[in-house]
Amino acid sequence: MNRGAPFGYTQGVDDVRVWRYEARRAGRHLLAAPPLVAAALLCTGMALPGAGFTGGWLTRVVLPLVAGLTTAAVAVGEPAFELHSSLPTSLRTTLARRVALLGACTMIGAVALALALVPAAAAVERLATVGGLAALMMGVGVWAAVALGSVAGASTVVLAAWFADLFVLDRMLPSTAARLVSYLLPAAVLAARAAYLLGGDRDLSEGARR
């Protein structure tokens, strides 16, 4: 029997406590990874003006890779998948909240990297490329995690997509606008596909142990 507040549980709670709970379940170390990577790039001078080609390249690609890998870990990190079948909140909603938290942390890192170039116009280009590629890697990460049910398998797919961007998209699409479209459209499709697969609260508990 569910007792009344403050002694029992209340359904429909939708405030900061929900997000704090999801942050704990997602793993605060995973949520902190993108901002910490951005801070490391800034502290080492790689993200600062005058860092040269190597600094600019690392700044563009490292944060999105970390975002994709951490997304895969967050999506397969729930140990109590069977429990969600008896809860009013679906697994799809739960994972969407956790990925959204990771996305917000990733954008904090991307904005910090872009601010390093202010007031130059290159700041906007950096924000678009870093944020766009991060969105693609996160889309790949969540789809692969749901489809494969394995952190190792999903991480491999993220790495493959990352290398594909470096050696294919980056060379074929030099325009920032074209590159941004090529990032965001597949990211949206992959996220929608992952949501579809989770529609029946797909059981990932076996994959979560691999």
Residue 112 has a pLDDT of 96
How far apart are the C-alpha atoms of 205 and 209, rounded to whole Å?
A: 7
- Least confident stretch, 18-32, 74-88, 91-105: 74-88
The model's pLDDT over 62-89, given as tens digits with 9 standing for 90+, comes to 999 999 999 999 988 665 444 445 455 6
Q: Which of 34-48, 67-81, 167-181, 187-201 ranks highest by mean pLDDT?
A: 34-48
Residue 89 has a pLDDT of 64
Contact 41, 63 (CB under 8 A): yes
Percent of the chain with pLDDT over 90: 58
pLDDT band at 8 (very low <50, low <70, confident <90, very high): very low
Does the structure show a pLDDT above 70 at 94?
A: yes
Mean pLDDT of the chain, nearest integer: 84
Nearest alpha carbon to residue 42 among 53, 54, 51: 51
Helix crossing, 91-115 with 28-43: angle to 10°? 10
Percent of the chain with pLDDT over 70: 82
The model's pLDDT over 143-179, given as tens digits with 9 standing for 90+, comes to 999 999 899 999 999 999 999 998 888 778 778 888 8
